[in-house]
Structure 1
């Protein structure tokens, strides 16, 4: 026999979960372990003809095969039924409260708003039919435990489960009847007592209310009263300590998402969620328990302050700076406003709107002091985040300068900074993800990546990073591992190209590392970067944290030093903005300012700002490469920005050298053809080269190019370094003739590559028709047609023609014919009395022709053949 039970003082989630189990596990009996909440008792009484329960005392332990426990995993909370835990009974648990230890693999313990959500999902998956009454019972559990879907722990899964139950006929009218019930007279009296005994206390900056009461009887609903007190008082948290007969009930509710309150309650023997927790203490004095609990509240974590979230250093301007210069600075740094400062004193703020209005009125040369707002709302670094948020909304401002005690501005907070903290990884963004991704072993991002580093990186690299971090700590540098190295670490993709950003002078730090670890260093003073090569050949790139400004579209960026956050903001896509600290005191601390890990998990490629492709069009190629390499996709907004950039012909602003460099990177990807087809379909190639003569044919040619390259590479005939010329030949063949000259002139090709390209178009193309014709060709004819063409040209011919006969003839040439040579030398001819001159090459050519066609084989055959020639042919 199976039985299902829940915790003592059963609530609607416990009841609903038991009912759901009877649907999932047929012939399962429900057992109430003890007292139930008042509203649940009334619901059971109303439906006593439908809801049947067994008493714990009526259970024959020997008949129990399976015990299902719902809405708790604690044996202490299921009353006398805990006796079954020690017996040979199969135990199954469904719960949504965190379990610190003892969790079994088969248990369903998941972070959702209500336990019944987990069970409802199983009903949905298994297609179990439920009645309107059952749906109503289940939805009561969801609504009660999620505060009508409003508590912080509510998830999308809870809403989906509720939607399913509504479709099954759940009656929402029961919600108001049994969950939002008016207080009883006893509850009203208890609420008044709690308010009379209310203390407003400050714990590490949190505004907390502690209320106490002592009763001679049990009154239910203390949790609801605690919640009401929080709404009445508008505080960060409320704790109620109520003694009822011989037990003290401790209830906690947090009303600030950044204040977890479960820890002190857990230390009192209770449990729950970060925002909602409870404990029961037996046979103790209320005053003593209150004193003990107050001591625990002193350990609450300090709240976030303005100093924790502010951006620094702050870009400021002087009061005499012109409107045009202010506009240029805003564009350069991506700011929508600038503080106006003189002698460290904050005079005002000039906004983008103010600047635009001045420009509209042709006042570009006027100083900003005539347009700035002087009534500036400020805050101190110790101000709580809650107060910061209130100031931003109360005064409807977009930025809040942070001033120290001497009134010097030390930072600034924007709405975005606050939203990032409030909403975490779910902070509102311009871009919405459309795609999901699950092909890689994506590591779960956390506050510290130490475990990921230890399990995914070779020991050698782990040790190297740790040594660099120790040196940084000792020398006073702030250093970070960044970019593709961190991205691939999270994805589980091998990548040992280490990029390190230093928040001071990277070159100076790199010198110290070389002195510390040995090796060689190459410095690039202009860009503040350095590359060190260790004794074992490993290379590490160091870069000073910097901002980049593009003075005009497609320009090379101007650079200046900044913080790690600004450095990451200049990156191409959010998935490349990830970093972790290397300093030994915070080694592995994860930095994700722009939700890159979320986009990485969802396989979404997003730019960080809408002019990204305009400022650097090469990012378009990189987007295609990441799409192909990781099976990612650009989101709608990013795609829109890309297409808009192409409409403005941004690719034409790139130099041929930069385009060639991007093509070189593309052909080194696992499947270059996929990337180039994407570039063709979206109009990128046309934006560079003009109108393609036959896009569909070029698309097919790209596919055949990859096939031909793979084939020749497997035969050891073609190497990776050769790929770029093959693809260029295929591209040039499909575009106007001017492209031929553009590539030769602008693509920074070496002399040999230029000769290969000219030879292909002067000779190679015209020979395709001959080689793919069904007409019989002697081996010597095939040799003569292909001799002098590079392997790149032959590969391109295979791709363009896509003809099996042509391919076979090229393979014959590459594998056999081009290796055929004559054994006769010039000395042999001289000894035969033939005078040196052009006739030598003619004779050698005739010999090779005969040998290719199988007419002669040995050196004696060659000598006899020469003797058979008439005197004129022999040059006598």
Structure 2
């Protein structure tokens, strides 16, 4: 016999999961243990004919061969049968659950993070194409709606939505669903709710608000989950707990809005379970006061300080002095895209000027006037230790989009609406929080192990950088592609370091520990390059911020902090850093979610104007996506298409586009990248036409070892000569590629007209190998080229110019003519040995000498 069990406090999701499971296991028996919540009881009272349950005490454990456990992965929560099942050998247990589970998934365990357990079973039913009655579909839909807050809880996934859609197709009745989800409170529930509100208050733990409410009643009152929902509607805390004593038990119900604490971790202290946003526990023979005390201690030990302004603010802040001319302020606002700029005197904030006021003054011809006459002096500010809630309140009350952050009167940062929205709603580029820093420390050991697996030469360089940083008393970070590829276990040799300080000075100090290196300084860009005899190199730069005077321009560089330095980079996966200072060696700095995007396989830009500022980033997006088999994030893909449509590519210089394109041609996966360049419209946007590029999947394996020239010629091999000339006009080819392209076009034109094998040999023997290899790909040329190459194998020519001189031939053109005639004779099969070669040569000498 197969039986279906759920946890003892059966809710609608558990009931729905049991009914769905019985559809998958049609010979199974539904077993009820414990007391369902009051609404489930009402439903069961009306559905006795449709749902037949056995009681736990009626089950003979010796008859049970399989247990299907739903809505929990802990058998002990299934009631009185749990112990008997574990003690009886041979009983198979299958589990369907959606609650957090950290152990290994064993056969028969179907556990996944969705909003409702019933969703997992609906997916199975849909996969098998099993029909449902309207009653069954409605009940299962009630379970999903109940556990996902009518699909509004943060835990809801797209899979839950699809499951509901399937159930509606099967005849689920929305009016019935609404009736059971909107049950009015009973008189007992109303009294209990009033008690909870009277005995409830918001308490702060490490700055985190938690609403705690308690009540006591002699009789059992069901529906605590509904009461928790009602309390959440009335109170503003992100986390709240109800503690109710009744029937000699204390019941705990915890809820969180998603930004609060993980309530399942807290009720686990009392033997309870649930989700991060909804959990409960039941404690026998306990007193409310003792449970409240224990709960407060558990909350305090797990609470972390809320988001503070210092975590989300931008710094250093671009400021102007009171004497700065309005025309100069206008340029600064345009350059950095700010809507306003603070005005300071000796770091002290004295005012703020908005873009609107600047533009208005400039329109009246006041561009030479100083800022002090137009700035706002009564500036609303916040302290760096202010919480996210405080910032939101100040912004809303004062209708301000940018708040200066001050400490002891000095301006230390600025926080904007965008910063707040990233924290509240999540976004493409989340800023660093305390949690991010804690995660960096937690994964430090993993990074140290990855560093330990590097070649000894690279480890030696990192140690030298660490020791130099300590000597120079500055912060140094490993950044960019090396960090990305280290986390991907993808071999790379690009070592890039940034220094919060003077990068040039640091590089000079580093040379003392790397005496075999050669140092080259680039003062204008604040960078230094150190190359080594084995061909490897490293780059050192000061932290800097870049801005673009116009789309496609080379960046202008200014000093900044690490945060801004990483923000100037192209994509989140390239905007991570690893600290190399001794105390924090190996800690990951990830302000913008690069590690998350690596794990999710996403290429995501850091801001919406990224492709507009530097259109070459579009080509790099394609390169990284195809190199790592990643996808472009939705907003990044949309921005790429938008940038192409605006024609921003045409702002690029031919040299910059060519350079980025041929970086792609040197990638192993360049064929796939080329296909993407065509499909995305990037090629059409640059070249102005859709050419017949040859990025053929048939060449993927063979082309990995091809040199750059052969790859290039293969890709243009299907384009007609006139179009190739136009195409090359949009590129800055080096001399080698330019010459080989011309040779390719010439041979492709004359090969069809070439008759004899010797004429063909003359053409092939003088052409670069890459050109011949590409021509041989063409089925029209392949047979003749292969015949010619086979004929060449017959040539065992020993004659050279020196031997001809020994045979009495005078220096001059005649030597080349004789050698060419002898080679032709070998090709045509007229010579088969060294003796015959000498005879033919002698005849040619005599014949040519007579003519002369």
Aligned partner (choices 285, 296, 303) of residue 283 of structure 1: 285
Count residues with an aligned counterpart: 837
Match of 1:433 in 2: none
- 1:191 correspondence with 2:193: yes
How far has the Cα of 1:58 moved from its partner? 0.6
How far has the Cα of 1:328 moved from its partner? 2.5
Match of 1:854 in 2: 829
Larger deviation, residues 300-309 vs 57-66: 300-309
How far has the Cα of 1:2 moved from its partner? 1.2
Match of 2:311 in 1: 308
Match of 1:407 in 2: 409
Describe how 1:465-484 pairs up with structure 2 within 5 A: 467=463, 471=467, 477-484=474-481
Distance 1:556 1:229 in 2: 57
Match of 1:86 in 2: 87
Aligned partner (choices 283, 297, 318) of residue 321 of structure 2: 318
- 1:424-447 deviation digits (Å, cap 9, x = unpaired): 357899xxxxxxxxxxxxxxx999
How far has the Cα of 1:127 moved from its partner? 1.7
* 3-state SS of 1:410 partner: strand
- 1:549-596 deviation digits (Å, cap 9, x = unpaired): 223443322222323332232223344334455556666655554455
How far has the Cα of 1:630 moved from its partner? 4.2
Match of 1:699 in 2: 693
Describe how 1:815-854 pairs up with structure 2 within 5 A: 817=792, 820=795, 822-826=797-801, 828-830=803-805, 832-854=807-829
How far has the Cα of 1:679 moved from its partner? 5.1
* 3-state SS of 2:570 partner: coil
Distance 1:727 1:109 in 2: 48
Assess, with a 3 A threshold, how the Cα gap between structure 1 residues 738 and 452 changes in structure 2: closer, same or farther: same
Aligned partner (choices 132, 135, 146) of residue 134 of structure 2: 132
* 3-state SS of 1:315 partner: coil
Match of 1:388 in 2: 391
Distance 2:726 2:46 in 1: 87
Describe how 1:2-13 pairs up with structure 2 within 5 A: 2-13=2-13
Aligned partner (choices 322, 326, 329) of residue 332 of structure 2: 329
Match of 2:436 in 1: none
* 3-state SS of 2:396 partner: helix
Q: Conserved in 2, the CA contact under 8 Å of 1:729 and 1:757?
A: no
Describe how 1:289-688 pairs up with structure 2 within 5 A: 289-299=291-301, 300-358=303-361, 363-404=366-407, 406-424=408-426, 449=443, 453=447, 459-460=453-454, 464=459, 467=463, 471=467, 477-489=474-486, 493-507=490-504, 520=517, 522-526=519-523, 527-531=525-529, 539-581=537-579, 592-596=590-594, 605-631=603-629, 654-655=652-653, 657-672=655-670, 675=673
Distance 1:792 1:503 in 2: 47
Q: Conserved in 2, the CA contact under 8 Å of 1:663 and 1:724?
A: no
Assess, with a 3 A threshold, how the Cα gap between structure 1 residues 512 and 99 changes in structure 2: closer, same or farther: farther
Q: Conserved in 1, the CA contact under 8 Å of 2:212 and 2:242?
A: yes
Aligned partner (choices 200, 214, 217) of residue 215 of structure 1: 217
- 1:334-378 deviation digits (Å, cap 9, x = unpaired): 433322223323233334444444555555444444554444332
Give structure 2 stretches of 5+ with no counterpart.
432-438
- 1:764-818 deviation digits (Å, cap 9, x = unpaired): 45523324xxx4x1x322223334333344345556xx343x3344345556539
Larger deviation, residues 198-207 vs 787-796: 787-796
Larger deviation, residues 828-837 vs 720-729: 720-729
Distance 1:571 1:815 in 2: 53
* 3-state SS of 1:699 partner: coil
Assess, with a 3 A threshold, how the Cα gap between structure 1 residues 254 and 684 changes in structure 2: closer, same or farther: closer
Assess, with a 3 A threshold, how the Cα gap between structure 1 residues 303 and 489 changes in structure 2: closer, same or farther: same
TM-score by length of 2: 0.86
Describe how 1:83-232 pairs up with structure 2 within 5 A: 83=83, 84-88=85-89, 89-99=91-101, 104-232=106-234
Match of 2:33 in 1: 33
TM-score by length of 1: 0.84
- 1:244-271 deviation digits (Å, cap 9, x = unpaired): 2322222222346143333333223322
Larger deviation, residues 637-646 vs 337-346: 637-646
Distance 1:815 1:384 in 2: 80
How far has the Cα of 1:490 moved from its partner? 5.5
Give structure 1 stretches of 5+ with no counterpart.
430-444
Q: Conserved in 2, the CA contact under 8 Å of 1:606 and 1:635?
A: yes
Match of 1:435 in 2: none
Distance 1:93 1:66 in 2: 11
Distance 1:42 1:294 in 2: 35
How far has the Cα of 1:22 moved from its partner? 1.1
How far has the Cα of 1:152 moved from its partner? 2.9
* 3-state SS of 1:93 partner: strand
* 3-state SS of 1:243 partner: strand
* 3-state SS of 1:460 partner: coil
- 1:264 correspondence with 2:269: no
Larger deviation, residues 44-53 vs 653-662: 653-662
How far has the Cα of 1:44 moved from its partner? 0.8
Distance 1:874 1:237 in 2: 107
- 1:447-478 deviation digits (Å, cap 9, x = unpaired): 96558657877723699398579658856554
- 1:71-116 deviation digits (Å, cap 9, x = unpaired): 2233443221122222222122222222355864532232222222
Match of 1:248 in 2: 250
Distance 2:194 2:833 in 1: 116
* 3-state SS of 1:148 partner: coil
Larger deviation, residues 352-361 vs 454-463: 454-463
Match of 1:437 in 2: none
- 1:782 correspondence with 2:760: yes
Match of 2:751 in 1: 768
How far has the Cα of 1:870 moved from its partner? 8.1
Q: Conserved in 2, the CA contact under 8 Å of 1:533 and 1:540?
A: yes
Q: Conserved in 2, the CA contact under 8 Å of 1:217 and 1:244?
A: yes
Assess, with a 3 A threshold, how the Cα gap between structure 1 residues 709 and 373 changes in structure 2: closer, same or farther: same
Assess, with a 3 A threshold, how the Cα gap between structure 1 residues 826 and 191 changes in structure 2: closer, same or farther: closer
Distance 2:592 2:138 in 1: 42
How far has the Cα of 1:60 moved from its partner? 0.5
Distance 2:429 2:814 in 1: 82
